[in-house]
């Protein structure tokens, strides 16, 4: 099993193999994404009942919470790639790291803005400097830092290692975001789904929420594959496998 | 794993551990500043700053919401199930403001120990339920996790 | 539930629908930008190979 994994890991690391693999998976992923999204939106906007406290406004949850989860998940993907870059010097991990950053930044932005749009009618304010909101804003700056740092260094192998270090160090912010609502008094409420005891959300709302979360995950893979393919083609433009693919 | 890779991995782990400890200490030192609000018990204990704006958070005590004048002025008691503080506020309340609701008020204490708020924000809990289900739960005396947390 | 009731979202229409609208914009852009970039890369490569072939033909 382990041997098989190592073999798979190395095969995935080869650009032509990954390019072909990602290309063949994209149509299927798009189908899965569409099904999940349609089901999630129908469940969330039409089937789910209004909330006892927040009425219809809580429906922002079906965008806000999956986006916030993705913002942290993508960062963890980036940090894992960072470790692979520094320890194993794998080129593909470098490409995945840098291609994840703009997607992660978009989801963080989406989480912050939808949170703000939810905060205004419910809390009474668009923004407060409480621990949860501030640490999520720092996450956005970390993503922008990764993008900026990579762009600022011309030597791409050096740039790859520099952003790997930044991504790994920034990982410390992730538990801070998650536990901010427990460690400190904050305006943001505590965790609903990801807590130890059973989630305090009715199943009619939980099911569409999980469907949307899954749909966003699949979307991330689609967007990532798309970006990685473009980046690989650009980086390997002088290699034989690219020439074989497109010389006709 | 080759020795070179092992060394690099160890270095990364040490670096992250070092920074985590550093950030941990920094947050510990900043603890008071990161706290978004004080509880009525904190005020009772004299922990809240005097002659300076700060935030107080708690539950609006049922049956204490009064509108003494014609305008937007409202008075209510705020509790953390331990101490109580009286809050006065003039302005628009958020949609979620109601008796029993968790709220956060920004303002300062006057000489009488009343909290004069310049802003009131509503805090909601992490429970999402259809109204009928919540009513049924309340009737049967069941409580949602986290609903009677101290403070809010 | 009537259509207008659905779009009204209990009076929170502005907040709810702008959240969903923004999500749509973010998802579409994140798909479209890399897609376009990829197509451009392919086009550029094909043009480059065509030119190389022409040069080789004329020189031989």
The pLDDT of residue A200 is above 90: no
The answer to whether residue A10 neighbours chain B at the CB level (below 8 Å) is: no
As a whole number of angstroms, the distance between CA A238 and CA A236 comes to: 5
Confidence (pLDDT) at A184: 83
Residue in A219, A234, A246 nearest the CB of C49 = A246
Predicted pLDDT of residue A12: 79
Average pLDDT over residues A148-159: 92
Q: Where are the beta strands (DSSP E) in chain A?
A: none
Whole-number pLDDT of residue A182:
85
Task: Assess A247–C contact: CB distance below 8 Å, yes or no.
Answer: yes
C-beta of residue A4 within 8 angstroms of C-beta of residue A172: no
- CA dihedral sign of residues A101, A74, A157, B22: positive
For chain C, give the mean pLDDT. 89
What is d(CA A5, CA A33) in angstroms, rounded to the nearest whole number? 27
- Using 50, 70 and 90 to split pLDDT, how confident is the model at A190? confident
Closest CA to B12 of A157, A175, A153, A85: A85
Q: How far, in Å, CA of C52 to CA of A126, rounded?
A: 58
SS3 label, residue A186: coil
Nearest to A117 among C6, C18, C49 (CB): C18
Q: Which among A51, A169, A197 is the nearest to B19, CB-wise? A: A169
**Per-residue confidence (pLDDT) for residue C8, from 0 to 100:** 87
Domain count, chain C: 1
Q: How far is A1 from chain C (nearest CA, A)?
A: 35
Residue C36 sits in which domain range? 3-59
| DSSP letter for each residue of A230-244 | HHHHHHTTTSHHHHH
Res A90 pLDDT > 70: yes
Q: Which chains touch A (3 or more CB pairs under 8 A)?
A: B, C
Window C:4-33, CB contacts with A under 8 Å = 6, 9-12, 15-16, 18-20, 22-23, 26-27, 29-31
3-state secondary structure of A60: helix
Q: Is B105 exposed, middle or buried (0-12, 13-18, 19+ CB in 10 A)?
A: buried
């Amino acid at each position: 099993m382990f041997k098989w994994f190592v073999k798979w890991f190395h095969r995935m690391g080869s650009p032509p193999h990954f390019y072909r693999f990602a290309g063949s998976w994209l149509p299927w992923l798009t189908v899965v994404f569409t099904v999940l999204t349609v089901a999630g939106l129908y469940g969330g906007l039409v089937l789910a009942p209004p909330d006892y406290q927040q009425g219809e406004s809580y429906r922002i949850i079906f965008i806000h919470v999956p986006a916030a989860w993705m913002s942290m998940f993508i960062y963890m993907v980036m940090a894992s790639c960072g470790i692979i870059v520094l320890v194993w010097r794998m080129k593909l991990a470098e490409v995945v790291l840098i291609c994840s950053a703009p997607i992660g930044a978009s989801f963080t932005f989406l989480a912050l803005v939808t949170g703000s749009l939810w905060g205004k009618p419910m809390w009474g304010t668009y923004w407060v400097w409480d621990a949860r909101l501030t640490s999520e804003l720092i996450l956005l700056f970390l993503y922008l830092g990764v993008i900026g740092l990579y762009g600022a260094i011309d030597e791409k192998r050096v740039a790859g290692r520099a952003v790997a270090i930044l991504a790994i160090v920034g990982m410390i912010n992730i538990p801070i975001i998650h536990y901010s609502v427990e460690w400190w008094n904050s305006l943001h409420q505590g965790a609903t789904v990801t807590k130890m005891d059973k989630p305090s959300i009715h199943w009619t709302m939980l099911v569409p929420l999980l469907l949307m979360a899954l749909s966003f995950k699949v979307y991330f893979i689609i967007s990532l594959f798309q970006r990685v393919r473009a980046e690989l083609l650009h980086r390997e433009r002088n290699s034989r496998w690219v020439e074989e693919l497109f010389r006709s | 794993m080759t020795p070179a890779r092992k060394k690099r991995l160890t270095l990364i782990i040490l670096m992250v551990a070092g920074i985590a400890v550093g950030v941990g200490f920094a947050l510990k030192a900043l603890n008071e500043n990161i706290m978004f609000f004080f509880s009525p018990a904190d005020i009772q204990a004299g922990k809240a700053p005097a002659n300076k704006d700060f935030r107080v958070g708690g539950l609006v005590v049922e049956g204490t919401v009064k509108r003494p004048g014609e305008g937007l002025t409202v008075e209510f008691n705020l509790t953390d199930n331990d101490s109580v503080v009286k809050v006065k506020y003039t302005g628009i309340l958020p949609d979620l403001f109601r008796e029993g609701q968790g709220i956060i008020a920004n303002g300062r204490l006057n000489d009488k120990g009343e909290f004069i708020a310049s802003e009131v924000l509503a805090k909601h809990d992490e429970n999402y339920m259809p109204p009928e289900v919540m009513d049924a739960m309340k009737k049967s005396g069941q409580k949602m996790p986290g609903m009677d947390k101290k403070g809010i | 539930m009537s259509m207008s009731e659905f779009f009204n979202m209990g009076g929170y229409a502005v907040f709810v629908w702008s959240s969903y609208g923004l999500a749509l914009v973010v998802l579409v852009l994140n798909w479209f930008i890399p897609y376009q970039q990829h197509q451009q890369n392919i086009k550029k490569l094909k043009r480059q190979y065509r030119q190389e072939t022409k040069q080789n033909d004329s020189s031989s």
